[in-house]
Amino acid sequence: MFQEKRPERLIDLNGSRLDGRKLDQLRQIKLEVGVLDKANGSAYVEQGKNRILVAVYGPREAHPKHIALPDRAVVRCRYHMAPFSTEERKSPAPSRREMELSKVIREALEPAILSENYPRTTIDIFIEVLQSDGGSRCAAINGASLALADAGIPMKSLVSACAVGKIEGQIALDLSDLEDKYGEADMPIALMTSFNKITLVQMDGSLTLEEFAKAVDMAVDSCNQIHEMQKTALKGEYLMIKEEVEEKEGSEGAGE
């Protein structure tokens, strides 16, 4: 079994991190929309070594019927990690961590969904973490909000998320697995970007009140950055469809 070692330093003398990033730099992010055939909406996210698939089904008839709410849709969320997604094999049975994350991710997304438009239905969000690399709940939220939009579910805003933490006494953006493990603090934050409202905050570690305030500002900035990437990913999908349609129309026109 591959055994990772504690790195000697998380930040080198030039101020760059294990993967060469600066303190306020995000990892490479790749966002794709509409990657699954059967789901009503779907998205694929890569952030660092995170690889996450999200599918949205719904609004659809509530099953079993008694879970339906008379005045709005029931939003259901499942965050699940594949057994091969971690260093040690993870049992596929839902862990306590996954149950907690399912709840906080639902609470992060639900404020953005106009669920009162679809009473007596369910909107199901299924998140599968294929490979995890720290900050997977944030990457999952970024993907889930794209998948909801891809499913055509009306929303007040996209939700963008990013973690910020502390390594070797310094506030750093978007911690990787190792930085989270050996760092001093980790704080994931999700933002409803159009309203500047925070829909998820969690924290563990140790931060002074000043560090906390600084970390929040840093996270909010990069949530806005991620919001732009999300918009590009969504538009990209529909530009592609538009081009396809135009091409088709063009060739049909030529045939006549």
Can you give the binding site for another protein, defined by CB under 8 A?
67, 69, 71-78, 96-97, 99-100, 102-107, 110-111, 115, 124, 187, 192, 195-209, 212-213, 216-217, 220
In the complex, minimum distance from the CB of residue 170 to another protein, in angstroms, rounded to a whole number: 15
By C-beta, is 33 or 189 nearer to another protein? 189
Q: Which residue has the tokens 């026109």?
A: 253
Rounded to whole angstroms, the Cα distance separating 230 from 33 reads: 9
In the complex, minimum distance from the CB of residue 103 to another protein, in angstroms, rounded to a whole number: 4
Q: Which residue has the tokens 């699954």?
A: 36
Sequence-ordered list of residues with C-beta below 8 angstroms from that of 203, at least 6 positions apart, any chain: 185, 186, 187, 212
By C-beta, is 129 or 200 nearer to another protein? 200
Neighbours of 123 (CB within 10 A): 25
In the complex, minimum distance from the CB of residue 126 to another protein, in angstroms, rounded to a whole number: 9
48, 134 in Cβ contact below 8 A?
Answer: yes
In the complex, minimum distance from the CB of residue 172 to another protein, in angstroms, rounded to a whole number: 17
216 exposure class (CB count in 10 Å sphere: 0-12, 13-18, 19+) = middle
Q: Which residue has the tokens 């779907």?
A: 42
The angle that helices 136-150 and 209-255 make with each other, rounded to 10 degrees, is 30
By C-beta, is 97 or 242 nearer to another protein? 97
By C-beta, is 33 or 127 nearer to another protein? 127
By C-beta, is 101 or 146 nearer to another protein? 101
Three-state helix/strand/coil letters over 93-161? CCCHHHHHHHHHHHHHHHHHECHHHCCCEEEEEEEEEEECCCCHHHHHHHHHHHHHHHCCCCECCCEEE
By C-beta, is 72 or 227 nearer to another protein? 72
In the complex, minimum distance from the CB of residue 236 to another protein, in angstroms, rounded to a whole number: 28
